[in-house]
Structure 1
């Protein structure tokens, strides 16, 4: 029986791209699919061939974030403390005992590495203020649309907590889609366990307070199912994220990078081993995630100029114009369709974004990671443990260090072997088409009669 499925995406293109193959699989299986998004993402959604439902504010999310920073409601992000706290959070997380997401045994000692004060700080200063920027303008419109359209299943990106609130308002089943190791689940499990150990006067839950104010408005009580979902869909290989119980569904990553045209240079064999280098949107859109200045990029290009390789660097035109020199072994492009370019590459240098990391794992491409993303510690450790790549902390990047690491990736076949092992693991996971029956059962089990 065909059901109505509502996808809810944040305004970041790469997060929406992460949902597209699954949305299309449900649609081609005969289900009625809609994508709820803010107005600034509507064109991106419709270009994918899916049907958009505009919800929320017309004000771009970056403008809202800047305004919140200026008025003090969005505290500055301390990336060092955040990375350290998230590294500790994964050691505190009790595993779920089943689909309800209740705490069972512990991953390590749940009392170790992360204090109650750090946990409250993570929610109060980092998670909730940023979640409010992305979600507070969505709730009213999203619930109104859901009450009108009556979806049976809501699939939401892990950043769009307005999705499960809307699902709860209409009694729909809902599944969240992660874009990294399941930090949210692990932190939440550890937080609830640790909160229970505190005296009553010290217990406070910023996330439940915020979401509870919205569920009360829409006529029902907050529950942990809102943040844990009825199921969690994870596109990383099991060796990266681990097993979080029966409600954790693995899914093979299928690349969608937006509209793409194969460039002429990609039709010819590379003259030397090809290396793709990308710094993502951090170069222009989110300065707090920027891993290299344009001066550092120039230093890297000069340092690797003598290597026998073809370097393909994606760089916005505004930044390309600031370079003094482009070595002969370097090709600079505005955009490269990763799913088409990476299979031709011997290595990749990148900033650690989820879509970039997914594409490299799928292609079996050895990686050099230079990243400030919140899950940097996990990605760096994963590459080291699997032998699939190397990493350099952003504050330690120099041209010679990049050259040394890149030469190792190109010369040592063990890195390719490690990347190939992960690729095989990725390909062993269910495709989006293969996951559709699971989601149909989820809708039948938890959705409205």
Structure 2
């Protein structure tokens, strides 16, 4: 069979779909990943055969602005490589493509944030493209795969086939310190994902957090883009800063401070690591609230200081609380245990094969 996987937005979309795409390839199916140019390197880094369909990164919530270009590019691709099934994510453009091709459509996302309103708006904005292509009402997905553990799903989320989260990030040479816990010290990871220079705070504020953690005896790791490492590295003291493989390092950590990315949060949950989340947008806030409400994290909203304390003070206080209260780690490990019981990508693939064979 031929499986067409479509991704857009950030590298997180590539890493999220990679385990299922790899499972399909390992089972002997042909696969292609249709991606935006900024995501091509990420696809190559995890061994996925990817084809570029647009030069710029898709932004979820702005589908009407690029839908025609993306659809035409996908239709051109499928004229020479005809899929038996289309797998999409947050965007509904692949759903339109599947309806036009009259092949099954599978939606594959982590439903950790409420999306019903945004989905309705996106589908309505695609109506001109439906009319242009002669497609009537969009059918519902033939299968909805959710990477989010059931205990973290938002209220009212649609029924879905749960799938186990399998961490996947860009791969490079791994060093022993990455997979080894420091002896006699706790380890704290700080990251702002793959698109941000650093946590949305000035270098001096980051130094305050680092000083607080190292002063308490913790080892600090900062996963950062090269430009961030060059800019901040010299002033942050005794820390490791630069490329850090989250999938390898996470099991060695006692706490992570991050921006609220779903891939970051799920990889940490998967390893039983409690989190202090400083969301940098509305989606990150929804992720933070879900993990916080499950007892596995604290959230600091930098736009809403409380108790007369600054965001920096709240972040450092939150780190102290998580490291001193074992209940955060216990709750996170409970969710990790739940995640480990969910069907693997190889098991879920059998359902995709059945859908494609109808």
TM-score by shorter chain over 0.5: yes
CA RMSD between the two structures: 2.5
- State the alpha-carbon separation in 1 of the partners of residues 214 and 259 from structure 2: 20
Q: State the match for 1:258 in structure 2.
A: 170
**Partner-residue secondary structure (3-state), 1:30:** coil
Q: Aligned match of 2:268 in 356, 360, 366? A: 360
Task: Give the deviation of 1:208 after TM superposition.
Answer: 4.4
Q: State the match for 1:122 in structure 2.
A: none
Distance 1:210 1:437, change over 3 A: same
Task: Give the deviation of 1:343 after TM superposition.
Answer: 0.5
Distance 1:391 1:430, change over 3 A: same
- State the alpha-carbon separation in 2 of the partners of residues 176 and 211 from structure 1: 17
Q: State the match for 2:136 in structure 1.
A: 221
Q: Deviations over 1:76-126 (max 9, x none)?
A: xxxxxxxxxxxxxxxxxxxxxxxxxxxxxxxxxxxxxxxxxxxxxxxxxx8
For the pair 1:349 / 2:262, whether they are aligned, the reply is no
For the pair 1:429 / 2:342, whether they are aligned, the reply is yes
Q: State the match for 2:87 in structure 1.
A: 155
Q: Deviations over 1:342-370 (max 9, x none)?
A: 10111111111111011011001011111
> After the TM superposition, which of the residue ranges 162-171 and 369-378 deviates more from structure 2?
369-378
Contact 2:32 2:51 in 1 (8 A): yes
Q: Aligned match of 1:302 in 211, 216, 228? A: 211
Within 5 Å, which residues of 2 pair with 1:404-443?
A: 404-443=317-356
Q: State the match for 1:6 in structure 2.
A: 4
Q: State the match for 1:53 in structure 2.
A: 51
Distance 1:153 1:147, change over 3 A: same
Contact 1:302 1:399 in 2 (8 A): no
- State the alpha-carbon separation in 2 of the partners of residues 166 and 151 from structure 1: 11
Q: Deviations over 1:259-301 (max 9, x none)?
A: 232124235541411111111235339xxxx632333212322
> After the TM superposition, which of the residue ranges 47-56 and 16-25 deviates more from structure 2?
47-56
Q: State the match for 2:197 in structure 1.
A: 284
- State the alpha-carbon separation in 1 of the partners of residues 65 and 175 from structure 2: 38
Q: State the match for 1:116 in structure 2.
A: none
Task: Give the deviation of 1:416 after TM superposition.
Answer: 1.0
Q: Aligned match of 2:75 in 128, 143, 146? A: 143
Within 5 Å, which residues of 2 pair with 1:307-386?
A: 307-323=216-232, 325-328=235-238, 331-386=239-294
> After the TM superposition, which of the residue ranges 251-260 and 34-43 deviates more from structure 2?
34-43
- Structure 2: unaligned runs, 5 residues or longer: none
- State the alpha-carbon separation in 2 of the partners of residues 164 and 374 from structure 1: 25
Distance 1:188 1:322, change over 3 A: closer
Q: Which runs of 4+ in 1 moved over 6 A?
A: none
- TM normalised by structure 2 equals 0.88
Distance 1:46 1:377, change over 3 A: closer
Q: Aligned match of 2:161 in 249, 254, 269? A: 249
For the pair 1:131 / 2:55, whether they are aligned, the reply is no
Q: State the match for 1:236 in structure 2.
A: 148
- State the alpha-carbon separation in 1 of the partners of residues 113 and 289 from structure 2: 15
Task: Give the deviation of 1:156 after TM superposition.
Answer: 0.7
- State the alpha-carbon separation in 2 of the partners of residues 174 and 327 from structure 1: 51
Q: State the match for 1:92 in structure 2.
A: none
**Partner-residue secondary structure (3-state), 1:304:** helix
Contact 1:153 1:167 in 2 (8 A): yes
- State the alpha-carbon separation in 1 of the partners of residues 195 and 80 from structure 2: 38
**Partner-residue secondary structure (3-state), 1:55:** strand
- State the alpha-carbon separation in 2 of the partners of residues 50 and 188 from structure 1: 29
Task: Give the deviation of 1:31 after TM superposition.
Answer: 1.5
- TM normalised by structure 1 equals 0.72
Distance 1:41 1:402, change over 3 A: closer
Q: State the match for 1:211 in structure 2.
A: 126
**Partner-residue secondary structure (3-state), 2:256:** strand
**Partner-residue secondary structure (3-state), 2:69:** coil
Q: State the match for 1:178 in structure 2.
A: 109
Number of aligned positions between the proteins:
350
Contact 1:61 1:134 in 2 (8 A): no
- State the alpha-carbon separation in 1 of the partners of residues 2 and 279 from structure 2: 39
Q: State the match for 1:187 in structure 2.
A: 117
**Partner-residue secondary structure (3-state), 1:61:** coil
**Partner-residue secondary structure (3-state), 1:25:** helix
Contact 1:350 1:367 in 2 (8 A): yes
- Structure 1: unaligned runs, 5 residues or longer: 66-125, 192-205
**Partner-residue secondary structure (3-state), 2:3:** strand
Q: State the match for 1:15 in structure 2.
A: 13
